[in-house]
Structure 1
């Protein structure tokens, strides 16, 4: 029997409502639905290990919901189909109004699988690893809630790049190039490329520019600050406080996220629709 996971953000009323319609439509076709209510703290795999063997999972929520699911399910190569019940919905593939047709195509197998680069970040303090994270969008090191600049030494493959003073530095994937990195002046990168983007955040210089590097590289960010208001942020959802002398190493993760894509949607059309408001591309 075919099995599809259905993950829905319990804090979004519309997600709970749409969930009922999806269950009904899928079960009519003989597909077993693994129904999982989630929030940002849900340990998805631990509570529902059967998700690892699903054909795909449907995620009801916004981009933030999909990012949280991706960090947990991507190591198991589970494809994800996002339904936008949020604001921008850049990562999601369907709106609720389009869902009936989208589900018919999923049931018929009329979809493609698209892999996306993910990152691993390691935090070292006194030469000891103290934390490890994964990210689909980005890893950022920067100032916390107070308006104090931070200074970061940046190395790529142990080669010194520069010392940046400002609000911080973002290491983004191609997927994350249209998120926080874009707001900070970073380039838009086609999602199939295997690269990382280094984007300074409000650098206190006239000459600092974003940099695109090969995804096989290691990036090392060394923290210099006289204050304790420096933070690591992962996909804007997870992170920790950093201290002067800490180092953050970022590299390509050993697994990728797998997104379910419908054949008639392509990256630049979605880009125009979501970021420029072009009605002809919705």
Structure 2
């Protein structure tokens, strides 16, 4: 990928074109995580409406342990969204080029760790399933909040209910027959003629592409988990790291030139040395 393209894709200067492209990548990743996660723990983790409905069902049936698992999943999604907002706002206060890349960096790190150690945790099923559900819900909340904040709440990437609804609305407007109004005698009290009903074809194309990419990601994630196991998350982490590499590198270079990184490294060394001295005493 060209450097300029990647800088625009996840940098702080946004454009509708960059937002659409980034949403496509993230829809693919979300679909892969959601489908692969289902094969791992038999539960989808990207949409909270199903989680809340399952909580209500389990509570009514007396399955309190499963209801508590749902509470954990809901709080994890909520925590991921809150964490994303904190990272974006902190990056904005620090005037970082990577203010929107920071949540994706955390998401990539979590996927990387999950892919590397997930197979070893499978032996502890009592801990593995709830922890995996909470981790994947946290990741979904993290990603969805980032793209929501980036696009001013115009785009979502982790669930399709809103997108499919918008597709239906645009299709309804596309099929609407704008018949000519019958001729009437004009009068001062007569209302102005209503505007023609027209579909937003660009929005319709974008939504169809995003839903298709989510589906393609789901197929890729399911096949990847089937053949590779937990290592299937490693390519997803690599893709996210590739998307955010340029703005993160820009920040590291600018901080190094201004001396921020050397001062931070010196402070960290001083703290480590002070801690070592205290332990010796």
Could you say which TM-score interval applies, normalised by the shorter chain? under 0.3
Please report the TM-score for the alignment, with normalisation by the length of structure 2. Answer: 0.22
State the structure with bigger RCO (CA 8 A, min sep 6), 1 or 2: 2
**Which structure shows the higher helix fraction?**
2
Higher alpha-carbon Rg: 2
Which protein has the bigger strand share?
A: 1
Per the normalisation by structure 1, the TM-score is 0.22
